[in-house]
Amino acid sequence: MERSLLFRGSATALVTPFHTDGRVDYARLEELCDSQIRAGVDALVICGTTGEASTLPDDEHVAVVRTAVSAASGRVPVIAGMGSNDTMHGINLAKGVTAAGADGLLNVTPYYNKTSQAGLVKHFEATAAASDLPVILYNVPSRTNLNIEPETYYSLAKVENIVAIKECNMNQVPRTKQLCGNAYTHYSGEDGVVVPMLSLGGAGVISVLGNILPEVMRDMTHAWFDGNTAEAAALQISIAELITAIFCEVNPIPIKEALTLLGQSAGPCRLPLTEISELNRRRLARSLREYGLTVVGADL
C-alpha cells in the first residue's frame, strides 16, 4: 500500500446500528456495509464519531470492526477508529482492530484530559507503534477542544505509518502543507468543504452525509479527480441545506433519524444521545424532501 493513500474519493463514516434494546445489530451492519459498497464508496470508516465508538465496550468495538471487514470482503478498505484519551487504551484498541482485519486506523486526538502538543506527539507515536497499519490522524477541535497544530503534524511526519489527516480545521491546511509537503494525504472531515479541500490537494472526504447519499459524495470527489471541477462544485452546493439539517443536533442523532425517515433504519442512538426533537425531525424530513428524497411517514 502506498504511503499517504489509503483511499481516494469518498469514505462513509458509517453509523453503528442498534436494536431497540441497545444491542448492536450485526445483521443490519452487514447490510449497511454491503449497500454502501454497492453504491460505490471508496472506503468504509467504522467506529468513528458517527459510529458512536465512545459507547462501545472494547469487545463490541472489535466485533463491529470484524463484522464490517467480513461484510466488505476485500471490496473496499475498512478503516477502524481506535482513538482514546488513554494512550494505553488506544494501544490496546489498535491491536484489537488490527487483529480483526482492519486495513487502516483512524486516531482521534485525546479529549477531556486534553494534552499539550508535545503530549500529542508522544501519544500518536505510541499508538501508531502498536500496529503496522497506516494511520489517519483525526483533528476535530469542535469535539475534543484540542487542535493538532501544523508544527505538530511536522513533528509526526517522521512516523512512517502515520500517513494521512482527517482535518476538520480547514483554515490550517495550507500551513500544514507548507510545512509538511506531501508527507500526508488530507481528507476533509466536513461534508460542507469537500471541494475546498480537494482544491488544496486533498484526496477526498470521510463523510457523514454518505450514510444517505453515498453516490453523491462519490460523484463529487470523482468529478473533481476527472477534471470536472464545475460539476464537483455544483454537487457541493446542492447538498448545502441538507448538511445543515443533518447537523441540527449532535451527530449522529440526525443522520440516524434520516436513515429512519428514508426507510433504512439503523435503530436508535445509545445514551447519552437521545431521540431527535420533534421540531428537528420535521425540519430534517422537509430538507430530505426538498432534496428530492422520499420520506416514509405521511405525518411529516
**Using alpha carbons only, what angle is made at residue 242 by residues 237 and 245, rounded to the nearest 5 degrees?**
140
The answer as to whether 269 is a domain residue is no
CATH of the domain at 74: 3.20.20.70
Whole-number average pLDDT of the chain: 97
Asked if residue 300 has pLDDT above 70, the reply is no
pLDDT at residue 137, as a whole number: 99
Q: What is the mean pLDDT of the segment spanning 280-286?
A: 97
Higher pLDDT, 147 or 300: 147
Q: Which three cell numbers stand for residue 225?
A: 479527480
- Give the residue numbers annotated as catalytic, written as ranges: 138, 166
- Note the pLDDT tens digit of each residue in 158-197: 999 999 999 999 999 999 999 999 999 999 999 999 999 9
Q: Are 233 and 197 in contact (CB under 8 A)?
A: no
Q: Are 61 and 43 in contact (CB under 8 A)?
A: no
Give the single-character DSSP code of 97.
H
The answer as to whether 283 is a domain residue is no
Give the domain range for residue 120: 9-229
Asked if residue 2 has pLDDT above 50, the reply is no
The residue written with cell numbers 441545506 in the block is: 241
The answer as to whether 200 is a domain residue is yes
Q: What residues contact residue 81 under an 8 Å CB cut-off, 6+ apart?
A: 45, 46, 47, 48, 49, 51, 53, 105, 106, 107, 108, 138
Give the single-character DSSP code of 193.
G
How many Cβ atoms are within 10 Å of 273's Cβ, its own excluded? 17
Count how many domains the chain has.
Answer: 1
**CA distances for 161 relative to 89, 126, 150, 195, 246, angstroms:** 19, 12, 18, 26, 33
**Using alpha carbons only, what angle is made at residue 254 by residues 207 and 67, rounded to the nearest 5 degrees?**
55
The answer as to whether 68 is a domain residue is yes
Asked if residue 73 has pLDDT above 80, the reply is yes
